[in-house]
Amino acid sequence: MGKKRKLICSNCQAPFKKTTETISSSTVMMISASPSSSFVAAPPPPPSSSSSSVLCKACSRSRIGESVGGSLVPKTSTQSGGFATTIQTTTRNNNNNNNNSNRFAALASSSYSPNRGEASVSDEEGSKNDNLGIKRNAKKKKKKKKKKKGGGEQNKGNTTNTLKMNVMKDSECREILDELDEQVVLIDSYTSEAFTQCVLELKRAKVIAYDCEGVRLSRTGKITLLQIAIPKKIFLIDVMTIGGKEVFIDGGLKDIIESEEILKLAYDVRMDSDALFHQHDVVLKNVLDLQLLDIAIRRAAGGRVEHLPSLSKTVSRRLTNAEILVCEDLKKRVKNMYTSVEDGDLWARRPLIDDARRYAALDAWVLMKLDQAMRPNGTTAPHLFPGFDASWNERVLDASRKRIDEYKDKEIPIEQGGKRTAEMTQAPAF
């Protein structure tokens, strides 16, 4: 504060008698940077020629408003109108900014920070980083889904390789594979000595295990390979190479398959019976369907069986761990070959690869093993299977005879791998 004397305001040129205060440019900057202000400060006014200015009370207040509020336009001494002109300019600016009222309201409600501009930039960068993080997470989720879908085949391959390694390491599994290789007799000519010997041994047998393979096996899907097993031997008869007439008529296999004296073991005989009848006019007779025998044993023990079990399920219930492991290994490897061969024509390709030959032999070999497990010494003993008596055995044989005609008498053919209805998968009542 100064003494009372007549002075002239350096801004509005109006005389006044009382000094207010001397405001330097550094003081203005300190006021504009005050954290107690609720407005964003405008840049300080340009410095005058002298280090300090003498202002009247009104101009002093307006200068402080300019520095703190940032909305008043500074007036120089050469402009007319003084503080009144400044107020008019401020009013025009406020009117022009009516559309930004929400923005100013937000600024007014937030506490001022001298690093407000930098904070805004960092907030924008942070939001960008958040968006990038969300996108990255979305990409990771998509990759995981692709791995689950597209990588499924790779996982299957790894599982198959691991299973194969376990089979090859296990001594019992290796014995089974060696047994399969030793017992297999591959026949590709009906005039060969091997075929003649095959027919002779089958005619002497009381029980044989029967199965066949083909391309979409049905009455329209050709039989390409016939597998018939007896104890210690598995005959693989190449029907596609030899010919159907030569195998069944000239070779004499029709008489064996239709014989009432030889029991034929099968697993879900419906498809094989349909194909044999419509393609080669051969009717299966005296069949024991081991799928029905497994159902009957479980029902006799008080179990409730509503659906037909797969061969692998029956194998897992009746055979040893080593036999189960070998079956699973060959099944998975052949299944992978099916998906890799065009049109699924694996059984129409010649020569048969080792895994396909072993798998074909395994089907007939497994039927012999299941018969031994469920009918030791040729009969299903009640002391081994509670509740299963002679009446149950007759019911199984009767249901097996009915099954022979189930598919072959249908007007619309049922194809292997085609759509299966609930009726086709439901366990029959017997």
Predicted structure pTM score = 0.61
pLDDT of residue 65: 56
Contact 325, 167 (CB under 8 A): yes
Question: How many Å apart are CA 38 and CA 69, to the nearest integer?
Answer: 8
Using CA atoms, how far residue 85 sits from 72, 74, 92, in Å, is 10, 10, 11
Token representation of residue 173: 């599994």
pLDDT of residue 131: 61
Give 10-residue mean pLDDT values along the chain (430 residues): 66 68 45 43 45 69 57 42 43 49 46 45 54 64 55 44 63 88 92 95 96 87 94 95 93 95 96 93 95 94 92 92 89 72 72 86 94 86 82 93 90 75 85
Q: 156-425, superfamily in CATH?
A: Ribonuclease H-like superfamily/Ribonuclease H (3.30.420.10)
Q: Outline which parts of the chain fall under CATH 3.30.420.10.
A: 156-425
Query: Which residue type, as a one-letter code, is found at position 413?
Result: P
Beta bridge partners of 264: 208, 287
Summarize pLDDT for 276-298 with one digit per residue, the tens.
999 999 999 999 999 999 999 99
Chain Cα centroid distance, residue 15 = 89
pLDDT of residue 23: 44
pLDDT of residue 50: 41
Count the residues in the chain: 430
Beta bridge partners of 223: 214
